[in-house]
Amino acid sequence: MSEKATLLTVYQYLPQINCGECDVPSCMVFASKLLNREATLEDCPPLKDPKYKVQMARLAELLAPPIKEVAIGVGGNVVKIGGKEVMYRHELTYHNPTAIAIDVSDKMDDKKIVERCKAVEAFTLVRIGEYLKLDMIAARCASKDPERFALVTSLIARSCKLPLILCSFDPKVLKVALEKGEVADRRPLLYAATEDNWKEVSELSKKYDCPMAVFAPNNITLLKSLIKTLEAIGIHDMVMDLGAYTDGRLLKETINNLVMVRRAAIQRSDKDVNYPIMAIPATVWIGDKLDPMTTSYREAYIASLFMNRYADLLIMHTLDVWALLPVLTLRQNIYTDPRKPVSVEAGLRTIGSPDTEAPVLLTTNFSLTYYTVANDIESSGIDCYLLVVDTEGLAVEVSVAGGQFTSAGVKDLFSSVGIEEKVKHRKLVIPGLAARLKGDIEDTTNWEVLVGPRDSSQIKGFLAKNWTIN
Amino acid sequence: MGEKETRILGKNLIELLEKFGDIEIENVEIRAEELTFLIQPVIRSLAQAPQLVPRVVEKEIEALLEAEFSPPIEVYPGEIAEVQIGATKSDGGSRRKVIKIGGAKTMPFYSFEATNQNKPVLAVDVFDMPISLAKAVKQHFKDVMEDPADWAKKYVEDFDADIISLNLISTDPLIKDTSPKDAAKTVEKVLQAVDVPLIIGGSGNKAKDPLVLEAAAEVANGERCILNSANVDNDYKKIVKAAKKYGHIVIAFTPMDINNQKKLNRYLLDEGLPKEQIIMDPTTAALGYGLDYTLSLMERIKLSGLLGDSDLQMPIVAPSSNAWGARESWMKSEDWGPREYRGPLWETITTITVMMSGADLFMLSHPATVRVMRKLIQALYGEFDSDQRIQDWITEIEG
């Protein structure tokens, strides 16, 4: 029954006055920006006029993503999950990176709880100019004692500002935490409503205006039934947990479940499953005498598997950096906009204040290679020239093998940027992975070629050892 | 509901609304927004009347509402070609068994809609000379690196590799310039040392590779090896000719571009090499270093093949040991934690990602990745049961 969002359907609800206040010349262009998620309705000032109220509502509905967006937290400490539009990222892009929560048990001693919360909040890794961070705390009531849990949620609330998930299948536990645990005003995610407790949990969700999770392990029909019921009684912010099994046949079924509900929501417009998906790789930690290293390893690759198949929120247990780094890196990869160009502009970059004796380095115009190299050089404080050769947006090794990285290309670059006027020497450092081009480049340019390190993190040490001007 | 009826209903509703202001609706399935939509043609002229949106009254509900879910199954018109790797005695080879890849009818592990009968397969990297390897990998092989036959044997016997990927890198004129004839001897030695199928790779030198692969193809006559690789910059015709003559499979390598991959596949097909003897390598970038491009590229290729593009219906090989090119996998760093774990995990997660995107065959370096992937693939194929209970995870997680 619902109308499809197309250029014309969106356009017909816009003011159609081409006022240009949104910084594009016409409402038609603005419509296409809305469709590509490059603009939001907020960017159209005339639309805010009350006379467009109905159109505004219609546009909001038309442009709403097939998977609802759910916000957890308040104010500046909000995590938004879901809001997905497509099954495969090449069709548009994925929105709202998978949020990662770390669990805190109320059986931990108070000191450890405070330390753990602070560690999660402070956790930061930098990759290619971006900060990789953890997003939430999942407080687990392992003690089964509502009073203890409320004390612990107070402790967590005082220790960090991260958005929270309150985990217990006992509604009494959730109730006491919301009443006395200093978290009610933080709009935590209530985890979780089940077949048995949905009524009580939904009352809490309504009373405190909190989003809630729905738990139906390996049972999509039950999940649908719960969601349908909860929607009927006025709950609209939900997160679906189909039970993330991590082993054997149950893992196979879990992956199938995740694909099926996402496809039903996006391609079949099934409104009973169009909520964000959560998965709990932390379940690998159930059991005695687990080896911490192999269990962290396992949790990390299970998290990656679920992230590859539609998880919008993960609860994890490990805090080992070596295990979290690849998971966060994968998230960075998957949620990069595929419309972003693969290449940067070829040419000459000046890093720091190079003089006529400064080193001249060479890299490719594949954006990841370029940013990695440029960041490494900048952060090590070297004054130099960085030449960016056009390899059709390919990385060093691939473009050397594929013939896009050639000595002729380097020669053309030399003359187009006038590098010979900028430095007195004739010495070029090439990437270690392009070693085999050394001879060719020397013959073509008459420069001396130094084969640099295979990894740009070692440029500083390399130059200290090898860069001299006679 | 026809358009005319919709309009009439819309009109009636408007009239109702004007009379009563509010409307109670029994069927909660009809949402206020849908009503607005139904009456849209009329409502636009009345846009300033805000009371037109009806208030849907929520019902008291005692028991769960019933719901049904039928799996959203899709049937794809196309199918990925099946490639048989290795030949047993009865097929004119000497391998213990034949390995099949491809034949997919749906995306990886979507078993609710179709069964992809062939599981992803694990090949491991062996080199014809000692090379610099990440410490985490090297520690397992330092006693066998001098001899590729021993190296291969260790991998098959200790770590259960499906296929050995033998890289004849010493043939590079800038390395040792090993002759095609000598390289072929290495191939023979490895074929004798192990009874699993072989991938035979050159050094990447575009002039030398076709000669090396041709010589290797000849000594491996009938073994149905995989020649790695044909690409637009080398004499792919020579490689195809050798594959046809001696009964091998060819990897078609292109650097990260679906159209170029399609073009190269077409060239090989035009040379008379059937789909069943081609495997695509559309480039596997490491986690953190372009894996996003690889992921989307493989998904597009696999979907195109399933949707019927016969030039893209070959299985995909992913040299995911490229993960070791990422500094996060091998570099010593206190901030990043022990590299003995970080490295193989980097390779494991790179491999999982390309597997979910559509790769059928992997080239791996670390035994831990082989072990983890083997178990994971078995699980994803439901080959063993699990009595895992997660219902009480909130109270049962250790720590």
What pLDDT shows up at residue B57?
Answer: 54
Q: What is the DSSP string of B68-132?
A: ---------S--PPEEEE---GGGTS--S--EEEE--SSSTT-TTT----SPPEEEEEEESS---
Q: What is the ipTM of this complex?
A: 0.86
- What integer pLDDT is reported at residue A457 of this predicted model? 87
Residue B162 inside a domain? The answer is yes
pLDDT confidence bin for A38, thresholds 50/70/90: confident
pLDDT level of residue B176 (50, 70, 90 thresholds): very high
Beta carbons of B344 and B136 less than 8 angstroms apart = yes
Question: Is B269 in contact with B292 (CB distance < 8 Å)?
Answer: no
- What integer is the mean pLDDT of A419-439? 95
Residue B364 · residue B351 · CB < 8 Å: yes
Indicate whether B74 belongs to any domain: no
Binning pLDDT at 50, 70 and 90, where does residue B59 land?
Answer: low
Nearest CA in chain B to A318: B399
Alpha carbons B294 and B326: distance in angstroms, whole number: 15
Same domain, residue pair B61 and B185: no
* Count of domains forming chain B: 2
Pick the closest to residue B236 from B199, B261, B201, B211 (CA basis).
B211
pLDDT given for residue A163 in this prediction: 98
B281 to each of A10, A330, A438, B106, B226, how far by Cα in Å? 41, 21, 27, 20, 12
Query: How confident is the model over A351-373, as a mean pLDDT?
Result: 92
Banded pLDDT at B21 (limits 50, 70, 90): very low
pLDDT at B338: 96
Instruction: Please check whether residue B76 lies inside any domain of the structure.
Output: no
Q: How many Cβ atoms from other residues are within 10 Å of residue A273's Cβ?
A: 25
Is residue B73 one of the residues assigned to a domain? no
Q: What is the pLDDT at residue A408?
A: 94
Average pLDDT over residues B324-353: 95
Query: Minimal CA–CA distance to A98: which of A310, A283, A275?
Result: A310
Structural class in CATH, domain A347-466: alpha beta
User: Which chain B residue shows the shortest CA-CA distance from A316?
Assistant: B397
What pLDDT, on the 0 to 100 scale, is given for residue B1? 39
| Portions of chain A given CATH number 3.40.50.11600 | 347-466
Predicted local distance difference test score (pLDDT) of residue A116: 98
Cβ-in-10-Å burial (0-12, 13-18, 19+) of B305 comes to buried
Asked whether residue A251 carries a pLDDT value surpassing 90, the answer given is: yes
Burial class (CB in 10 A: 0-12, 13-18, 19+), B9: middle
B96 with B25, same domain? no
Burial class (CB in 10 A: 0-12, 13-18, 19+), A180: middle
- Same domain? For B373 and B288 the reply is yes
Residue B7: pLDDT over 50 = no
Confidence of residue B12 (pLDDT cuts 50, 70, 90): very low
Looking at the structure, tell me whether residues B183 and B258 fall in a common domain.
yes
Tally of residues, chain B: 399
Cβ contacts below 8 Å, chain A against chain B, sum to 278
Residue after which a domain boundary falls, among B66, B91, B119: B66
| CATH number, domain containing residue B164 | 3.20.20.20
Transcribe A39-64 into DSSP letters. Answer: S-GGG-GGGGSGGGHHHHHHHHHHHS
> Is the predicted pLDDT of residue B198 greater than 60, yes or no?
yes
Q: Which CATH superfamily is domain A69-334 in?
A: Dihydropteroate synthase-like (3.20.20.20)
Residue carrying the six token digits 């390897």: B133
> Is-contact A130 A332, C-beta < 8 A?
yes
Binned at pLDDT 50, 70 and 90, residue B192 comes out as very high
Smallest CA-to-CA distance from B177 within B167, B169, B188, B185 is with B169
- Write down the pLDDT at residue B214: 98
B contact test, residue of A298, A308, A344, A365 with most B CBs within 10 A: A308
Range(s) of chain A covered by CATH 1.10.15.40? 7-63
Tell me which residue of A412, A423, A438, A437 sits closest to A384, measured CA to CA. A423
What pLDDT score does B34 carry?
41
The pLDDT value given to residue B56: 53
Band of pLDDT at residue A37, cut at 50, 70 and 90? confident
How big, in percent rounded to 5, are the helix, strand and coil portions of chain A? 45, 20, 35
Question: What is the predicted pLDDT for the residue at B11?
Answer: 47
Alpha-carbon dihedral A414, A420, A421, A427, rounded to 10 degrees: 120
pLDDT band at A343 (very low <50, low <70, confident <90, very high): confident
Q: Range with the lowest mean pLDDT among A56-65, A185-194, B221-230?
A: A56-65
Residues B127 and B37 placed together within one structural domain of the fold: no
- A280 interaction partners in chain B (CB closer than 8 Å): 390, 393
Contact of A87 with chain B, judged by CB distance below 8 Å, is answered with no
Give pLDDT, residue B300: 97
Q: Quick one: B221 and B127 in the same domain?
A: yes
What mean pLDDT comes out for the span A422-430? 96
How many residues are there in chain A? 470
Please confirm whether the linkage preceding B184 is cis (ω < 30° from 0). Answer: no
Q: Are both B178 and B288 inside the same structural domain? A: yes
Asked whether the beta carbons of residue A403 and residue B233 sit closer than 8 angstroms, the reply is yes
Interface of A with B in 385-404 (CB under 8 A): 394-395, 397-399, 401-404
Residues of B in contact with A245 (CB under 8 A): 386, 388, 390
One domain, residues B42 and B177: no
Task: Evaluate the omega torsion of the peptide bond into residue A32 and state whether it is cis, within 30 degrees of 0.
Answer: no
One domain, residues B186 and B115: yes
Q: How far apart are CA B319 and CA B298, in angstroms?
A: 13
pLDDT value at B60 more than 80: no
pLDDT tens-place string over residues B136-162: 999 999 999 999 999 999 999 999 999
The DSSP code for B214 is H
Mean pLDDT, chain A, as a whole number?
94
Q: What is the mean pLDDT of residues A201-212?
A: 98
Distance CA A260, CA A220 (A): 9
Same domain as B219, residue B323 = yes
In a domain, B75, yes or no: no
| Residue B58 pLDDT | 57
A435 and A450 Cβ atoms separated by less than 8 Å: no
Query: How close, in Å, is residue B324 to chain A by CA atoms?
Result: 12
* B269 domain residue, yes or no: yes
Query: Across residues B101-107, what is the average pLDDT?
Result: 98
Q: Side-chain half-sphere of A288: how many Cα atoms within 13 Å?
A: 0
Instruction: For residue B290, give the nearest of A285, A305, A368 by CB distance.
Output: A368
pLDDT bucket at B18, cuts 50 / 70 / 90: very low
Q: Tokens 């002039």 label which residue?
A: B207
Residue A445 has pLDDT above 80, yes or no: yes
Give the C-alpha separation, A423 to A413, whole Å. Answer: 15
Residues B360-369 have a mean pLDDT of 97
Contact check, Cβ <8 Å, A368/B356:
no
Q: Are strands A427-430 and B121-127 parallel, antiparallel or unpaired?
A: unpaired
Is B37 in the same domain as B119? no
pLDDT at position B37:
40
Stretch(es) of chain A classified as CATH 3.20.20.20 = 69-334
Q: By the 8 A CB rule, do A330 and A354 touch?
A: no
Residue B48 has pLDDT above 60, yes or no: no
Separation between Cα atoms, residue A111 and residue B388, nearest integer Å: 32
Residue B17 has pLDDT above 50, yes or no: no
Q: State whether B298 and B340 are in the same domain.
A: yes
Task: State whether residue A150 sits within 8 Å of chain B by CB.
Answer: no
DSSP three-state, residue A246: coil
pLDDT of A1 strictly over 70:
no
Residue B336 and residue A322: Cβ atoms within 8 Å? yes
How distant, in Å, are the alpha carbons of A78, A155, A337 from that of A135?
9, 18, 20
> CB distance B393–A282 less than 8 Å?
yes
> In terms of residue numbers, what domain contains B60?
3-66
The domain made up of A7-63 is a member of CATH 3.40.50.300: no
Q: What is the pLDDT of residues A148-175, one digit of tens each?
A: 999 999 999 999 999 999 999 999 999 9
Quote the percentage of chain A above a pLDDT of 70.
99
* pLDDT tens digits, B261-289: 999 999 999 999 999 999 999 999 999 98
Are β-strands A130-133 and A124-127 bridged in parallel, bridged antiparallel, or unpaired?
Answer: antiparallel
The answer to whether position B77 is within a domain reads no
State residue B20's pLDDT score.
39
User: What is residue A371's predicted lDDT score, i.e. its pLDDT?
Assistant: 86
| pTM beyond 0.90 | no
Mean pLDDT of A82-108: 94
**Number of other CB atoms surrounding residue B75 within 10 Å:** 9
pLDDT exceeds 70 at position A206: yes
- pLDDT range class, residue A92, cuts 50, 70, 90: confident
